Structure 1
Amino acid sequence: MTRNNPHLRGADPRVAGGRLTVDLDALAANYRFLAEQSTPAEAAAVVKADAYGLGTGPVVEALVAEGCRKFFVALPEEGLAVRRAAPEADIYVFNGLFSSEAASFYREGRLLPVLNSQSDLAIWEAHGWDDEDTPRPCALHVETGMNRLGLTPERARILAQENALTGALSPRLILSHLACADTPDHPMNRQQLESFQALCELFPDAESSLANSAGIFLGGEFLCDVTRPGVALYGSNPVSGTENPMRPVASVHSRIAQLRHVPVGGTVSYGATPLDRDTLVAVTATGYADGYHRSGSGAGVPLRAAVPEGAFGFIEGQRVPVLGRVTMDLTLFDVTDLGPDALQVGDFIELMGPNLPVDELAAACGTISYELLTALGHRFERHYVRGGDRI
């Protein structure tokens, strides 16, 4: 699929300003680890937002090869992309039904809606598809404290009573979302679990799912029947303040477009950041249009008042700091300490990867790894690697 899909190949390598490499072996290893941590529950996979920016097709194929049989997306079009890569999987769509016309997407892809409201319930009952032996298969999202999407506890109880009589819907899965799972001792976790368990009792024939990536590491009762790892699959640390057990999956490198010497007292980029020494500047062909956030700038953005250091690159075994403001298509790095002849135009500087973890870059940008990964642009040349070989 990867070789024949221009979208997944990304930009032509002869002219691309940057390169995104996705290590499918690391992805598979992360899934195996999370599945082990989820035992005795089944580990599904959250692959919304184009598999967190890394490409739905290759990611889903790699996860299917590891035994993953349940996937979660946000929107039905994402579900159709998963279906092409996983013909036999159960595919759940988080964001529910916007109108009766949406039901045709679910029917086409045999997608399972997550019903979040009275409107969703009514639309699916009237327009949903029937399985071989069950009417209108679906999942139900129940609200336990996040107050985002989901049926209120009162509405869930009414539905349970009504559906027991009519059998109009066939809930396969009851789910809710933990708000504070990445803070293991937060009291909200236990409150949500207890509320969720009480609501699951209303639907004894359905499986239950509460734990996201961080929730898996709460263990015990939080695991329920199905876990839903997302960002941890892609290499981000699922629990704040702990050593990251996940392998890095995505690496981003930017091509050097120009090397230039700027004397002490000179300035660089928008806002004219002054230099306090003679500086060798590497101008790289990646910027915020590619998802490399402007807030990672070395100077000239308000975040630097709170977090003094901006982002770094990595090349020739050394970290090199971003200079001045990141711009739309270009980012500057101070490579003086590498020496005058260490680099040349066309070399690549690592922006994120084994030497610069995604969570570290996210912290420098004042954001989270989710935002960085899903913002990765399609101007990168894309490499998918398995068994040491590009596929």
Structure 2
Amino acid sequence: MSTGRLTIDLDAVAANWRALDAKSDPGVQTAAVVKADAYGLGVGKVARALAAAGARRFFVAVAEEGAALREALGPGPEISVFGGHMSGDTDMIHDLGLVPMLNSVEQLTRHFEALPGHPFGIQLDTGMNRLGMEPPEWATLRDLILSQNPRLIMSHLACADEPTHLMNRQQLDTFHEMTEGVDVPRSLSATGGILMGPDYHFDLTRPGIGLYGGLPFDNAAPVVTLDLPVVQIRDLAAGESVGYSNTWVAEHATRVATVSGGYADGITRHISNKAVMFHEDTPCPILGRVSMDLITVDVGHLKGDPKALTLLGTHQTPDDLADVGGTIGYEVLTQLGARYARYYARGRG
């Protein structure tokens, strides 16, 4: 093994979908968000595992992602596009049966003129100020839009990872106000909203990060394991340094392993001199700076020389590593590099 080994447990992904689905009443449909190549884990295999678990509606960020997903799933499952109907997307939306979530008057015009009668949804801005129609333009066009039978009306919570944040109730109230009296399925919640309870569930939920073992779903089954092979082991004397800019200097004799992996593989430099890797159950501190292709690790306390060390797994989740690096688990997952050899396991049922 010359590159890192990234193992994705597809049974864990399916189990997480089923667990989140079980948190809603039977009348609420649970979709699956597989944007960004299923959060970096491979949309083809992940989406097929989710479909086998029972998912029938999927969400992606842009139409090109919808094309890859349609190729993986074939006809049947509904694929919605958060980014809506962008210029140049018309043929793809039509030919692949994608459902754009229209975000603006411009997108409405484009869709109605280019693809009259083609399914669409609407995204409303309830205060996040990122995507969606704002209350005044929605109020003006609401009757026209509803006359065209949208498939879904949705919005997105800005602070659902903080259940007590006042923004959650504010957005919920706004969503109710904007959609009062509509006879169209509604959706407000991703993973965090699902966990806040049925007030936020409406007709459809859209779990994303929770499917992949991430917070705020703290009961999620772990999905990813990342093992990095040891390239070389050396002994350092007291006073010798490791890596660029001499940011770590040995205070005593130290045995150091150099492993294959670095920021070119999506491992942030911000964990330099702070994070650990694991040999089985034993933590091994990272020494010096994470470089493009290599990381140096203290292995002097191990009984023997390891062949590989684990960066992500049961002892250190993407969120744990994110905490050390000052980021979030989403970024850790989606930055996992193309050089890793990906293995798909069926381990948890």
With the shorter chain as reference, the TM-score category is: over 0.9
Tell me by how many angstroms 1:264 deviates.
0.9
Corresponding residue to 1:264 among 234, 238, 245: 238
| SS of equivalent residue, structure 2 residue 22 | helix
The question of 1:284 aligning with 2:246 is answered: no
Residues 97-142 of structure 1, C-alpha deviation per residue, up to 9 Å, x if partnerless? 231x2111111210000101111000000112x6xxxx23111010
Helix, strand or coil: the match of 1:184? Answer: coil
Contact (CA 8 Å) 2:263, 2:290: kept in 1 or not? yes
Q: Where does structure 1 differ by over 6 angstroms across 4 or more consecutive aligned residues?
A: none
- Report how far residue 388 of structure 1 moved: 7.6
Measured in 1, the distance between the counterparts of 2:177 and 2:348 equals: 48
**Which deviations, in whole Å up to 9, do the C-alpha atoms of 1:38-78 show, x marking residues without a partner?**
23421111100000000000000000001100101001111
Name the counterpart of 1:208: 186
Q: Which residue of 2 aligns with 1:343?
A: 305
Query: 2:56 aligned with 1:69, yes or no?
Result: yes
TM-score after normalising by structure 2: 0.96
1:328-381 per-residue CA deviation (whole Å, 9 max, x = no partner) reads 000111111114xx115xx12110011211111010111000001000011011
- Partner of 2:150, secondary structure, is strand
| Aligned counterpart, 1:294 | 269
Unaligned runs of 5+ in 2: none
Give, as a single letter, the amino acid of the residue that structure 2 aligns with 1:20: L
Partner in structure 2 of residue 162 of structure 1: 144
CA distance in 1, matches of 2:12, 2:145: 44
Q: Secondary structure at the match of 2:338?
A: coil
Counterpart residue type for residue 329 of structure 1? D
Mapped partners of 1:171, 1:328: distance in 2: 48
Please say if 1:98 is aligned against 2:86.
yes
Separation in 1, partners of 2:225, 2:114: 43
The counterpart of 2:168, out of the listed 189, 194, 198, is: 189
Deviation at 1:313, TM superposition (A): 0.4
User: 1:136 aligns to what SS in structure 2?
Assistant: coil
SS in 2 for 1:124: helix
Letter in 2 for 1:91: I
TM-score between both structures, scaled by the size of structure 1: 0.86
User: In the TM superposition, what is the alpha-carbon distance from 1:387 to its structure 2 partner?
Assistant: 4.7
Provide the aligned C-alpha RMSD in A: 1.5
Among residues 48, 55, 59, which one is paired with 2:46 in the alignment? 59
The alpha-carbon distance between structure 1 residues 205 and 388, as it changes in their structure 2 partners (threshold 3 A), is: closer
Equivalent pairs, count: 346
Alignment pair present for 1:328 and 2:316: no
Query: Is 1:177 equivalent to 2:156 in the alignment?
Result: yes
Q: CA offsets, 1:142-201, max 9 Å, x none?
A: 01010001101111122222345xx4x331101111011111111111110011012122
How far 1:80 moved relative to its partner? 1.1
State the 1:245 CA deviation.
0.3
* Overall identity of the aligned pairs, in %: 44
- Match of residue 365, structure 1, among 302, 325, 328: 325
Residue pair 2:239, 2:251 contacting (<8 A) in 1 also: yes
Among 90, 112, 121, the alignment partner of 1:139 is 121
Q: Secondary structure at the match of 2:20?
A: helix
2 CA distance for matches of 1:158 and 1:317? Answer: 60
Higher mean C-alpha deviation, range 376-385 or range 153-162:
153-162
* 1:17 partner letter: T
Asked if the contact 1:172/1:205 (under 8 Å) is kept, the reply is: no
The aligned residue for residue 374 of structure 1 is 334
